[in-house]
Structure 1
Amino acid sequence: MSEHLGTRVENSHAPMHTGSGDLHVTIGTQLQDPDRPTFRRLADDHLAWLKKVLVAPAGMGAARHKLTDTGTVILDGPPGSGRTSVARVLLREYDLGTGVFHELLPDEEDELSLSNPAVVGIGDRLLLDLSAATAVQWAAARADLSALRKAVHEQHAHLVVVMPYGHPLEPDLQHYRIKIERPDGLQVLRRHLRMHGVRYEPASAVTAFLADPRPMREIADFADLVRRARDVAGTDEDFAQWCITARKARNDRRAEIAALVAKLREGPQRALLITVAMLHGAHADVIHQAAQLLLHTLKSPPDEQPLLQRKDLAERLTEISASTGPDGHVRFMELDYDAAIRAHFWDHMPDLRQPLGAWGARSVESSDPYVTRELRDSLVERLAEQYLRTGRWEGLGSLAEDWGTTTASRALLEAAVHALTCGLDDPAHGRSFRQWIYQWCAHRQLKGEFAQVLVQVCADVIAASHPDQALFRLYHLARRERGTTRALQALCNLVATSGRLRRRLLDRLARSPLSPAELRIFLLACDPAALSAPHDNGHTLIEENGPRESLTSGWRAVFKGLPHEVWHPYAERWLHTAADAAPCGDLLLNLLVAAAGRCEDQRGTAFAALYASARAAESTAPHGAARAAAITDRLLQKISAAQGLGQPAAPLPTASSGGTTP
C-alpha cells in the first residue's frame, strides 16, 4: 500500500479503540471519488431511464394488478418482447423504502434455495429471471415456487418471475401467469428517439429496419445509433440521412476493415489506427501520445527521420479515414468504424491482446488534462468488450487483477473496478465473474491493493442486485484482512440495510468456531440498536429464536476468546441500549447472561467481567447514572438467578479483583 493514515476510531459503527496507545487503521489509496457516481446510483439511473423509454406492452397493466393483489406475478412472452424490462420496472414501482431489491440465483454460491423462507426479507423486491432456463432448471424452480410465494406473502414482499417461453406451468400457478405481448416496434423506436431528443420523421431506412420483428434491445440500439449519427452529422443532413447512416453502421464491415489494414503496412500507421479505435473521440494530443506509447509498448523502432520531415498528425489521420474536428477531438469519418477496427485487430492479431492490456494501464494513468474520467472508463469498456465478445472472460479478470496488484494509483484501481463491473454486468459471463470473485475473496492470496478493488466491487456493484452474494464475499474479505478495516466497514454498512442480511450474517458466524477476526466481525454485526428496532411487522430481530440463538453463541465465543478490554465497549453499548429499549431491554440482558452461563469452566470469570462492564458503563450512560445503576442491579439479579442463587446480598467481585466465581 502506498499511503498510510493513522487514526483512532471510537464510534459504534467502526473499529473501536479499546486499549492503551494509538489504534492505527491503514486506509490506503481511496478508490471512491466523491464526485464520481457510484454503481448503485448508475444502476438506479439506468432503471429510471428504462421506465421512461418502456412502451407498456399488452399485459403489463394486468401484471401490475396481479402483483398488487397477490404479491406475485409470472411473466410469459416471446424472447425480445421486453419481459425482463417489464419485470424490473414493475419491481421499481414497489420500492417503498423498505427491504432491498434482490435477484434470486438459487443455484449459485451462498444463495439460499427458493424454498428457504430466509430468502425473503420484509418488503423485499425479488426478481427470478428464468427466461433462459433449461427444462431441468425450470422444473426445479416450479417445485419451490409455492414455498417462495408463501414467504413473499408473509413478508409483505413482491416477486416477479420471468418464465422460459414455451415451457409448462402447473394449473395451480396459472393464476399468476400473465402473457406479455411484443409492443409495436415503431412506437418503441419513437419513444427512444424522443428520449434522446431526436424528432421522428417518416424515413425509408426506418421502414426497412422495422420490416422484420426486432427484439426490444435491437430497436433501442438503433435509436442510439440515430442519435449518434445526428451528433456527428453535417448541418445539411436530416433525419432520413441519420437513419441511413445508422443502418450502414449495422452492416458487416469485416471485409472493408481487412482491406484497409492490408493497405497500412507501416507500424506507426497501424498503431495510430488502433489508438483512434480504442480512444475514439479523444483529443488529438492524447491520440498522438497514446500512439507513441503503443509503439513503445510493442518495442517498435523509433522513427529516425528528422522531426520536420515526418508526416504531421492531420496527414496520418487522413490515411486511416479519421480527422480532427473543430473541438480538437479525433474521430473516424464513419459511424461505428472504431468498433469494427477493434474487433478486427482483436480477432486477427491475437498477440496484441496482452500488450494492449499493458498499454491500457499506462494510458489510464496518464496525467494529461485531456485524459478525463469518461475517457478512462470508455477505454476500459472497449477492452472489456473484446474479452467478453470472444468469450475470454478469464483474461478480463486477470487483467483487472494485474491492474489492482501492480499499482496503488487511484486511476488504475478504478479501472480494475470498472473492468470487473463490465464482466459482472455481462449477461453471458456475469455468473462466472461472481464465482471467480468469490474464489478471490474466500481463498486466493491477494496482493497489492486488489483487496480494495474487491471490496469496492462487492459493496457497490454486486450488492446492487445480489446482496446475499455481496454479504458473504465481504465477510471473507473482512475475516482475512490485516492492517485495514475497509472490508469490515463495508460489511457493516451492508447489513445495516436489511434485517434479513444481518440475520444471515449472524447465522453464518454461529455455525463455526470463530477466529479473533471473526469475533470482531460479530461484535460489529450485533448492533443492539438494530437488533431491538422493530421491523414493519412490529417484531425485532432479538425476539426471533434464530438470531437470538446466534447472538448467544457469538457472545459466548467473545467471552471465551477475547480479553475483557476488547469486548467491554460493545457490552457497554448493549447495556446502554438495554436501559432505553423497553421492552427489549430484558432480552438484551438475558442474552448476555445466557452467553456467559455457557462458558463452562470460564463461567464465573465471564459473569464477573460482565458485571464489571455494567458498573463501568454507569459513568458513561447517556440516560443518567440512576437508570444505568438500575440496569446493573437488574443484570446482577439475572446473573444470580442463572447461578441458582437468590437475591444477591453483596455485589459481584469485579474482573480485576481476583474473584472468578460469584
Structure 2
Amino acid sequence: MSESSSTRVDGARGPMHTGSGNIYVTVGSDLQGSDPPSFRRIADDQLAWLRRVLVAPVGMGQARARLADTGTVILDGAPGVGRTSAARVLLREYHQDAGVFHELLPGEAGELSLKDPDLVAVGDRLLLDLSAADAVRWTTAQADLSALRKAVHEQHAHLVVVMSNGGVLDSDLQPYRVEIETPPGSRVLRRHLRMHGVPCEQYLQPDPTVDEFLAGERPMREVADFADLVRRAREAGRPGDGFAQWCATARRARADRRKDVAALVARLRESPQRALLITVAMLHGAHADVIHHTAQLLLRTTGAPPDEVPLLQRKDLAERLSEISADTGPGGHVRFTELDYDSAVRTHFWDHMPDLRQRMGTWAARSVDLDSPHVTRELRDGVVAQLAGQYLRTGHGEGLASLAEDWSSSTASRAGLEAAVQALTCGLEDPVQGRSFRERIYQWCAHRRLQGKFAEVLVQVCADVIASSHPDQAMLRLYYLACREHDTTLALQALCDLVGTSHRLRRRLLNRLARHELSPAEIRIFLRVCDPEPLTEPYGNGRALVDESAVQNALTACWQAVLSGQPRTAWLSHAERWLHRAAVTDQCGGILLDVLVGAAARCDDSRGAAFAALYASARDAERTAPFRSSYAAETTDLLLQKICTAQGLGPPTTPPRAESPSRRTET
C-alpha cells in the first residue's frame, strides 16, 4: 500500500477513500434517519481494510516496536513506499474502546494547535501526515512536536508522524524516526488480488504481463491500481478467460487512449451519437433502458433539436451502441468493449468541450431523479462521482461546490440531496482539494445564509464524512449549524451524537459555550450536552470530566446563563436529571450540586429567585426520581445546606432529614 491507492471495500458502512479513482457514498434513504453515530465506525472500517490489504514494508516491525515503547513514531522513506498507509495500520493495531482515530491538521479552521493539551484524549490514535508539507509547515510542526508528544504520553495515546518528503529531522526527534522501504511488488500485487477475490491458483502462475509491469520500481499505489484493473477485467471478462487475459486487458486499460477517443469523436458528428457516447461513459454499466432515457435527457438538456425521423426508421439501440464500441451484456447492462474506455471518454469531452460542463451538472441532477427500477442508489452515486472527478481533476473544486449547493434547493428531492452529499464527499476526500472543501464548508456553516435544504446536506456531510477523521472540525461546523437552525434539531442532534463519542470533544464544546454570553440557541445546545451521566463517568485515568476545575467553571458559567435568562419550565427536566444523578453517584454528586448552587450565586440581582427555583426543582425531583424517594430527599437537604452556605446563612431552620446523602450505586 501507499499514501494513495485504489481499492474496493466490501461491506463498508460509510464513505471512505484510499487513493485515486472514484468514491461512492451511500447515505440513508432519509437524510434525517441515518444511524448515528456512524463517524467512528467509518474510520474504524477504513483502518481495518488497510490492515488486511497491507504488505508490511521493510522497517514495519521496528516502527511497531518504537510506537509501543514510546507512544510516538516518525516514519521516513521515499515517496510511494507506503508511509501513510503504514501509519494508519500502526494506529489501527491500537484500536480500543477509549479514544478515537484523529488526523491532525494544524492551521485549519476548527483545529487546535499541536501544543494545546486539549488536542489529545485518553487512548486517542493520532496521525500527523506531513508527507506533502512544505519547508515552512514542516519546521513549524517540528517545533510543536515536543508538546504534542508530552500530551500523548500523559493520555496513554499513540502518535504516528509521516515526515515531509526530503525534510530534515531535528536531533532531539531522531530517536523516534524509523525509515521504511518498499516491500516486494509481487507480494503487494498478490495480496491485493487475493483481497479482490482472485483465486490463488490463478495469480500464482507466472505471467509475462505481470513480469513486465513489475520490472520497474512502482509506487505502491500503481500496484494497487493494476490489481484493481485485473479485478475489473475478471468481472467484465468472457467465460473461459483466465489470469493471462485479465492481465492483458488491464495492461491495455493503462495505455493512453486520448488519440483513440479523439478519433472516435471526430467520426461521430451527430448529436445523438455523442450524447450516447457521453451517457455510456458517465453511467457505465447501467441498464440499457436507463442509457436510452438519460441519453435523450442529455439531448434535451443541451438543446439538441428533436429527431424528425419516424420512429420505426431510426437506428435501434444495439446498432447505435456498436457505433461507439459498446454493447449490452446478458443482463441488459451497457459497457464499452474495452476496459476503462469510459474514463478516457469522460476526460476527452471535459477537456475539449468546456461549454458542455455546466449543462452536465444540470443533466446529472435530472438523471438522479429519474423514476426507474434500474436507477439504483449505486448508479446515482456513480453519476455524481464521475462528474465530481472531472471537476476535481481539472482543479475546479469551486464549481463542484456550487453544484452541490444548487442541488439542495427548496424543491430538491431526496435523490437530489443525496447527490449533493456525494458531491461534497468527493471534494472532501480529494487529496489535493480536500482542505479547500473543509474551509468552504466552514464558511457555509459559520457565515453563509443557507438556502433550501442545504443545511441538511451540510449536517450529513459534517457528521458522516468530516467527523470520521477530523472530529474537531466537524464539531465546530455542527456547532455553528445548530446555533442557526430553526424548526429542526438535525444539527443539534448530530452535534450531541458527536460529542457523545469523546470526553475531549464534550470538554471542548463546554469551554466554547462558556467563553461569552450565551445566546438562546447556545443555551439550547448546552442543555442538550450537559447530560450528567457522561460528565460523571470515570474515563481513562479514573477521573470524570466534572472533576476537572476547567469543566466545573464552564458548567457554572453556562448554568448561570440558564438560571438567569430562562423560565424554570425550560430547564426543570435538565436540573432534575442532575439532581437524580447527584443522588446515586458516590464521588461527583456534591460537585454537581456545587455547580448548580455556584451558578445561582452568580445571578446577581436574581440570585434569590434562582436559589428558590433550584430548591423547588429539587422537591419536584423527589417525585420524579426513578429510585427510592428517600435518596432524592437526602439530596434536596444537602442542596439546601449548600444554598444557605452560599448566602452566608447558618444551617437551615428546619433540620435536614439526613446529615448527608447516602451515595448509592443506581440499580
1:494-505 matches, cutoff 5 A: 494-505=498-509
Count of aligned residue pairs for this structure pair: 625
Partner of 1:126: 126
Q: CA deviation at 1:403?
A: 1.0
Would the alpha carbon gap of residues 406 and 385 (structure 1) be closer, same or farther in structure 2, given more than 3 Å must change? farther
CA–CA distance in structure 2, aligned partners of residues 278 and 33 of structure 1? 29
Matched with 1:468 is 472
Between the aligned partners of 1:118 and 1:229, the Cα distance in structure 2 is: 49
Cα 1:269/1:598, change in 2 over 3 Å: same
Contact 1:528 / 1:577 at 8 angstroms: preserved in 2? yes
Whole-angstrom distance in 2 between the partners of 1:637 and 1:141: 52
Is 1:306 aligned to 2:310, yes or no? Answer: yes
Identity of aligned residues (%): 69
TM alignment of 1:565-584, pairs within 5 A: 565-584=569-588
The answer for the alignment partner of 2:48 in structure 1 is: 48
Indicate yes or no: 2:335 matched with 1:331: yes
Q: Which runs of 5+ in 2 are unaligned?
A: 1-27, 657-667
Q: Contact 1:283–1:330 at 8 Å: present in 2 too?
A: yes
Q: Given residue 651 of structure 2, which amino acid in structure 1 is its aligned partner?
A: Q
Pair 1:75-2:38 in alignment: no
- Distance change in 2, residues 1:179/1:525 (3 Å): same
More displaced stretch, 233-242 vs 93-102 = 233-242
CA RMSD after TM alignment: 1.7
Query: CA 1:399–1:535 in 2, change beyond 3 Å: closer, same or farther?
Result: same
Q: Separation in 1 of the partners of 2:35 and 2:546?
A: 39
Instruction: State the 1:211 CA deviation.
Output: 2.0
Q: Does 1:484 align with 2:488?
A: yes
Q: Aligned AA for 1:394?
A: E
Partner of 1:233: 237
Q: Give the distance between the partners of 1:367 and 1:612, measured in 2 at CA.
A: 58
- Which residue of structure 2 aligns with residue 350 of structure 1? 354
What secondary structure is seen at the aligned counterpart in 2 of 1:86? helix
- 1:30 is aligned to 2:30: yes
**Matched letter for residue 293 of structure 1:** L
Gaps of 5+ in 1: 1-27, 653-662
Check if 1:366 corresponds to 2:366: no
Task: State how far apart, in whole Å, the 2-side matches of 1:403 and 1:257 are.
Answer: 31
Letter in 2 for 1:388: L
Q: After TM superposition, give the deviation of residue 203 of structure 1 in Å.
A: 1.7
Find the aligned partners of 2:36 and 2:207 in 1 and give their Cα distance: 40
Alpha carbons of 1:40 and 1:355: their partners in 2 closer, same or farther (altered >3 Å)? Answer: farther
1:505 aligned partner, one-letter code: L
Equivalent position of 2:192 in the other structure: 192
Query: Which secondary structure state, in structure 2, belongs to the residue aligned with residue 73 of structure 1?
Result: strand
Q: 1:505-552: per-residue Cα shift (whole Å, max 9, x none)? A: 001001121110100101111111111111120101111011111001
Kept after mapping to 2: 8 A contact 1:509/1:554:
yes
Task: Return the offset for 1:412.
Answer: 1.5
Q: What's the CA shift for 1:35?
A: 9.5
How far apart in 2 are the matches of 1:373 and 1:33? 16
Distance 2:162 2:243 in 1: 37
For residue 649 of structure 1, report the CA deviation from its aligned partner.
1.3
Aligned partner of residue 75 in structure 2, secondary structure = strand
Aligned to 2:662: none
Q: Paired residue for 2:272, among 268, 275, 280?
A: 268
Partner of 1:451: 455
One-letter amino acid of the structure 2 residue matched with residue 592 of structure 1: L
Contact 1:29 1:409 in 2 (8 A): no
Matched ranges for 1:13-28 at <5 A: none
What SS does the aligned partner of 2:97 have? coil
* CA contact 1:103–1:466 (8 Å) conserved in 2: yes
Q: Distance in 2 between matches of 1:611 and 1:42?
A: 45
Deviation at 1:136, TM superposition (A): 1.0
Partner deviation per Cα, 1:599-648 (whole Å, 9 max, x = no partner): 11111111111111111111101122211111111111101000110012
Residue pairs, 1:31-180, within 5 angstroms: 31=31, 41=41, 43-180=43-180
Letter in 2 for 1:173: L
- 3-state SS of the aligned residue for 1:126? strand
Shift of residue 651, structure 1, vs aligned partner: 9.9
C-alpha contact (below 8 Å) 2:44/2:92 kept by paired residues: no
Looking at structure 1, the residues matched to 635 and 263 of structure 2 have their Cα atoms a distance apart, in angstroms, of 84
CA distance in 2, matches of 1:79, 1:563: 61
User: Is 1:589 matched up with 2:613?
Assistant: no
Offset of 1:503 from its aligned partner?
0.3
Pair 1:101–1:94, CA change in 2 (3 A): same
After TM superposition, list the pairs within 5 Å mapping 1:211-610 onto structure 2: 211-610=215-614
Q: Give SS of 1:404's match.
A: coil
Equivalent residues of 2:115, 2:144 under 8 A apart: yes
Q: Distance in 2 between matches of 1:338 and 1:450?
A: 31
In the alignment, the residues of structure 1 paired with residue 123 and residue 610 of structure 2 have an alpha-carbon distance, to the nearest angstrom, of 39
Normalising to structure 2: TM-score of the pair? 0.92
Instruction: State the distance in 2 between where 1:559 and 1:319 align.
Output: 75
Paired with 2:562 and 2:34, the residues of 1 have a C-alpha distance of 37
Distance (whole Å) between structure 1 residues aligned to residue 454 and residue 542 of structure 2: 42
TM-score (structure 1 length as normaliser):
0.92
In the TM superposition, structure 1's runs of 4+ consecutive aligned residues that sit over 3 Å from their partners are 32-46
Aligned to 2:322, the other structure's residue is in SS state helix
Deviation at 1:262, TM superposition (A): 0.7
Is structure 2 residue 182 aligned with structure 1 residue 182?
yes
- Deviation track 1:479-519 (CA, whole Å, cap 9, x = no partner) reads 10000001001101111111000000001001121110100
- Whether the 8 Å CA contact 1:407–1:413 is kept in 2: the answer is no
Q: In terms of mean alpha carbon deviation, does 409-418 or 289-298 score higher?
A: 409-418
Superposed CA offset, 1:145-168 (max 9, x none) = 111111001101010000113311
Once the two structures are superposed, residues 301-327 of structure 1 have per-residue CA deviations (whole angstroms, 9 ceiling, x without a partner) of 111111100000000001111101111
Q: 1:568 to 1:506 in 2, by over 3 A?
A: same
Letter paired with 1:619: R
